[in-house]
Structure 1
Amino acid sequence: MTTDCSLAAPAIRPEPARLAGAAAALFTVLLWAAGLVATRFGVTGSLTLWDVVFLRLLLPALLLLPVLVRHPPAAAGRPHFPLLLAVLVAGAGLPFLLTSSGGMVFAPAAHAGALMPGCMPIFAALLAVLVLGERFTPARRLGTLLMLAGAAAVGGWQVLHDGGSTWRGDLMFVAAGAMWACYTIAMKKSGLGVWQAAAVVYVTSCLLYAPVYLLGGGAGRLMAAPAFEVGIQLFQSVASGLLSMAAYGFAVRRLGAAPAAAFGALTPALTALLAIPLLGEWPEPATWTGIVAVSLGVALANGAFDSRRRAG
């Protein structure tokens, strides 16, 4: 259902509310970028990939368990609901974490910051056209082309000039972007609330993974690992997961969905900048070029330069 905006003056939000929304959006993006850097730090330090994934799931699952108990998902009136729940868990839960975190074993954080946010909107747009019947606007087409060019600049350069295994991580980041796009579409079709969907994803993933991890000796490895590294992963699991979700919701309420989403264009650059002092990873010139292209593409695709959408 659409509204004819020409018949009424656009709502003008108070300036303090918009400033608070912008601050929340910036905080959200900073948490996302810091989460990517923390994951790279985790899998290249004393912890293994399997340890990092367990720590990413544990606290959010415990905190969200009451939400799932009080508000279990109901399939009434929703076709293919079990399949949608499976896509939710695969797209943002255990398979996604194994893929995105596994990519960090091979490729630097700057590549994750460019390829996952850059590829996710591409796959989401394609799925929206095929599944939801949405259409590409001219700005969305241009944004998609820029994201493709940026992803090619980041990943293609490694294929041509790097004899190592960085390209494997890049492919995993692209796959993780596709998985998150599937989660986005499945969540829209499922009709679940944000916290309800997050509870399904984290609790189910933890129940599937924790027994295998603990029976495989994971508890012993965590006891022997430096407390500082374990603490960073536990804090990051809540900060980049639950806290960023709350901050993003606040930003959407104060700014609107499209302007808040447009702040995601800052994720690639912030990830690369944070990785320099925290990880000692300096992106190549081709990576910086890709970061700029991806950032512009994400901003265009989310309506950052559409004055009509900013006013609404």
Structure 2
Amino acid sequence: MSSKMQGYLFVLISMCIWGGFTIFSRLSAKWHIAAWDLTALRFALAFCILMPILIYKKDMAFLWKKESVILALIGGVAYCVTSYTAFTYAPAAHAAIFLNGCIPLCTALAAYFLFRQPFDRHTWLSLIIMMVSIAIMSYLLSQQSAHPFGLGDGLFFLSAIWWGVFTVLLRQSSLTAWQAMCSVAIWSALIYIPIYLLFLPKHLDQAAWSHIVIQSLFHGVLVVIVATLTYVEAIKRLGAFKTGSIVTLAPFIAAIIAVPLLHEPLSLAIVCGLIGIGIGALQPWRWFLYNKKTYS
């Protein structure tokens, strides 16, 4: 298999897992697994897998860097708690818009405010398209309901902010992909699990054991470990722009799948939001520029 084909295989794996994140997170609410519990399951299993590997390899020095702890607090604990909680109050289609769709917007803003990185013309165009799409969707939703937005939407957007800040800090850090993944998983477990055991409510007794095992394996292994590594390998073979563009499709596909699978409605307002945010996030005009440069 050629390097390019390997890249497409890796990006397909990443896309399936990231799309499944939306579906499985929404399912956790239906399976009576609270956000506090799901976050604990995710970090506990990842810790149990990764920590013995680091001990065996005697490669733990990077864990004591300040940036490892900061990345874990933002991209691990804060992101997971807010995003998992949001799925309790909002459908999967809202996550595609206010979480995954807004991540490029929040990342660009975080880069500007934290490191004064200016917007290029593609970013400006994306931001304008996204804001117009959200404005149109807000108007359509206001015609359908007196309360078009809820707590879940706000938490999704807060999660996008967390992930945007995390992404920018990760780019500026000296950590490799493996070190960053291990740092987030291990420090998140060390920080969150004691707080969860001592102070937070637990509802795992209300969920079926099969559901707990499924959620633990998916979030603790596939999301934390596999998706991170396949995404990095895809970037090496296909480049950041092409990989990011393809993977961005995953949450929007998940929103469509959620209609028959989770019996969630897909209104005209949500469809408009999905299309607008999708165009802004994917930046399809750059594909033409990319292909033109490739074949010129």
With the length of structure 2 as denominator, give the TM-score of the two structures.
Answer: 0.86
Do the aligned partners of 2:185 and 2:224 also contact (CA within 8 Å) in 1?
no
Determine whether 1:112 maps to 2:110: no
How many aligned positions are there? Answer: 291
Contact 1:259 1:302 in 2 (8 A): no
Q: 1:170 aligns with which of 153, 157, 166?
A: 153
Alpha-carbon distance change, 64 to 145 in structure 1, aligned in 2, over 3 angstroms: farther
CA–CA distance in 2 between the matches of 1:112 and 1:67?
34
1:48 is matched with which residue? 34
Task: Note closer, same or farther for the CA distance 1:136–1:42 as it changes in structure 2 (3 Å cut).
Answer: same
In the aligned structure 2, how far is the partner of 1:308 from the partner of 1:169? Answer: 39
Whole-Å Cα distance in 1 between the matches of residues 133 and 212 of structure 2? 34
In structure 2, the CA distance between the partners of 1:48 and 1:126, relative to structure 1 (3 Å rule), is closer
What do residues 196-220 of structure 1 show as CA deviations (whole Å, max 9, x unaligned)?
112221211112222233346877x
Match of 1:205 among 185, 188, 205: 188
Distance 2:107 2:95 in 1: 17
Query: C-alpha separation between the residues in 1 aligned to 2:168 and 2:21?
Result: 23
Question: Deviations 1:56-102 (Å, cap 9, x if unpaired)?
Answer: 21211222224655132278xxxxx63x4443123211111110011
Change (3 A) 1:94 1:291: same
Aligned to 2:62: 73
Map of 1:124 onto structure 2: 107
Q: Distance in 1 between matches of 2:293 and 2:217?
A: 34
Deviations 1:257-312 (A, max 9, x none): 11111113303321212212321113211111111111111111894443269739
> In structure 2, what is the Cα distance between the partners aligned to 1:301 and 1:185?
23
Please state if 1:222 is matched with 2:204: yes
Write the letter of the residue equivalent to 2:84: S
Q: 1:111-167: CA deviations, max 9, x gaps?
A: 112221221111211222343443322222112222233344556655664356852
**1:71-150 correspondence runs (5 A):** 71-73=60-62, 82=66, 84-150=67-133
Percent identity between the two aligned chains: 25
Change (3 A) 1:200 1:68: farther
Q: 1:115 to 1:309 in 2, by over 3 A?
A: farther
Q: Distance in 1 between matches of 2:178 and 2:143?
A: 43
Question: Could you tell me which of 255, 267, 280 is aligned with 1:297?
Answer: 280
Judge conservation of contact 2:129–2:280 (CA < 8 Å) in 1: yes
The structural deviation recorded for 1:244 is: 1.0
Match of 1:243 in 2: 226
Give the Cα separation in 2 of the matches to 1:311 and 1:111. Answer: 36
Moved more, 236-245 or 84-93: 84-93
Letter of the 2:256 counterpart: L
Question: 1:93 aligns to what SS in structure 2?
Answer: helix
For structure 2, which runs of at least 5 residues remain unmatched after alignment? none
AA aligned opposite 1:51: D
In structure 1, the residue matched to 2:178 is: 195
C-alpha separation in 2, matches of 1:272 and 1:47: 21
Q: Secondary structure at the match of 1:32?
A: helix
Alignment-mate amino acid for residue 271 of structure 1: A
Q: Is the Cα contact below 8 Å between 1:106 and 1:165 reproduced in 2? A: no
- Out of 246, 268, 278, which is 2:251 matched to? 268
Runs of 4+ in structure 1 over 6 Å off: none
Tell me which amino acid in the other structure corresponds to 1:63.
Answer: I
2:263 pairs, out of 269, 277, 280, with: 280
